[in-house]
Homo-oligomer: A and B are copies of this chain.
Amino acid sequence: MLSYQEALTWLLERARPLNTHQNLSLLQAAGRVLAQPVTAAIDVPPHDNSAMDGYAVRCAESGGPLPVSQRIPAGSAPQALTAGSVARIFTGAPIPDGADAVIMQEQAVVGEDGQVAFSAAPQAGQNIRRRGEDIAAGQTILAPGRRLTPADLGLAASIGLARLPVRPQLRVAVFFTGDELVEPGQPLAAGQIYNSNRFWLIPALHKLGCEVIDLGHVGDALEPTRQLLRDAAAVADVIVTCGGVSVGEEDHVKAAVEAEGELTLWRLAIKPGKPLAFGKVGDADFIGLPGNPVSGYVTLQTLLRPFLLQRMGLIERAPFAPRFPAAFVWDRPDSKRSEFLRVRKVVGASGWELQLYPQQGSGVLMSCAWAGGLAWVQPGQRIQPGDELPYMELA
């Protein structure tokens, strides 16, 4: 059996990041993966400017009343400041050459002759926002491999960029097999089960940012399954299915993938989970998740998700991050397998802590719907309240 860490490493070694890109308008680029660094072509602010409404002055001369030699609103192009004068200036307006500070208008008194006196002595640089203070021309403002956030798009817009280079969406084809599967809403006959995997897999892939190609359901027959795989490989980067690929299991999905490409079957030392299949059909990767819904869902979160995120070109693959203390006892560890307990991160008396869903069986998705994340428990590990566990938010 392969450990979780071994399986993850093995998968990530095979997750080739997409290397093409497309230039999308900012609103289309929301949530997509940035393909190239974004550098600023301009300084922000573009010139030294006033942080206040007030008066631009030469500090050395600001002692006595001085005439106002010009008025500088925002968006104007000022003259150099005449010696022995001040300039009326407004927030955002360019500082005139020769001035070295701005005195806020609340500290100014305008005499009847129009000359201005100040109640406080300025310090050089006061109330001046420097050219390039926020962004310097040439500076990289967004690094490739990040998922573009609303703030990223606003930032790009603020320096005048209308389009950004992003990775194409990863195309993931899914299909479901088995004569026993019934779509929800239909009555169940003996021996039939509802196809629940379709209804968590597709939304989870959408949430990760994939384009999902739903190829539907195929019965238990080899030739139609082979045809579906060929169809999938023609349009998708990755093919994902659930079930039918356990080690030793005689199954047409396994046979079909082997006939159309290549397949490696793993028994993983994880719980819930265990069977995982990885293969290739044409240029597409094939991933077979366990058929049990809870096992499939947890394997999606712990192994398929990092694989897909790396395949999408993301730098952050977000599996387990540091530890939060358990608020529960766990005294029935599996001696050989890591366990991914379904937990919720809640606010306890001394900060965040992890609560356990009481039934950790893999019968139904109740534990996954209840949980906010997974806590990673090592083989044989017993847990007391306060013990810290690696934790992963569910995607």
Contact = CB atoms under 8 A, between A and B. Distances in A.
Interface of A: 26-27, 30-31, 44-45, 73-77, 129, 133-135, 141-142, 149-163, 180, 183-186, 188, 190-204, 206-207, 293, 297, 321-323, 347, 351-352, 359, 361, 363-366, 368-369, 371, 394
A162 B31 CA distance: 29
A157 B194 contact: yes
B293 A158 contact: yes
Contacts of A198: 157
Given A135-B366, A150-B200, A150-B207, A160 B30 contact: no
Top 3 A-B pairs, shortest CB-CB distance:
A75-B191, A162-B185, A154-B200
Nearest to A46: B188
Given A154-B297, A158-B365, A369-B142, A77 B322 contact: no
A141 B75 contact: no
A83 B142 CA distance: 75
B365 A203 contact: no
A160 B134 contact: no
B153 A200 contact: yes
A130 to B, nearest CB: 10
Contacts of A188: 160
B154 A27 contact: no
A76 to B, nearest CB: 7
Nearest to A214: B27
Copy number in the complex reads: 2
A129 B292 CA distance: 15
B75 A149 contact: no
A150 B196 contact: no
A390 to B, nearest CB: 11
A226 to B, nearest CB: 27
A366 B134 contact: yes
B201 A150 contact: yes
Given A162-B185, A191-B76, A293-B158, A44 B322 contact: no
12 contacts: A31-B207, A44-B364, A129-B363, A133-B363, A150-B201, A152-B369, A153-B200, A154-B196, A158-B293, A160-B184, A162-B185, A322-B352
Contacts of A163: 185
Nearest to A74: B191
A374 to B, nearest CB: 12
A72 B32 CA distance: 52
A154 B197 contact: yes
A162 B194 CA distance: 10
A27 to B, nearest CB: 6
A293 B200 CA distance: 37
Contact of A199 (B135, B153, B361): B153
B369 A141 contact: yes
B134 A190 contact: no
A318 to B, nearest CB: 12
- Of the listed residues A149, A183, A193, the one surrounded by the most CB atoms of chain B closer than 10 A to its CB is A149
Given A141-B369, A158-B194, A30 B203 contact: yes
A56 B391 CA distance: 40
Contact of A190 (B76, B161, B199): B76
A193 B195 CA distance: 53
Given A150-B207, A157-B194, 15 more contacts: A27-B203, A31-B203, A73-B191, A75-B180, A76-B191, A129-B361, A134-B361, A149-B203, A151-B297, A154-B200, A155-B368, A158-B293, A158-B364, A162-B185, A322-B351
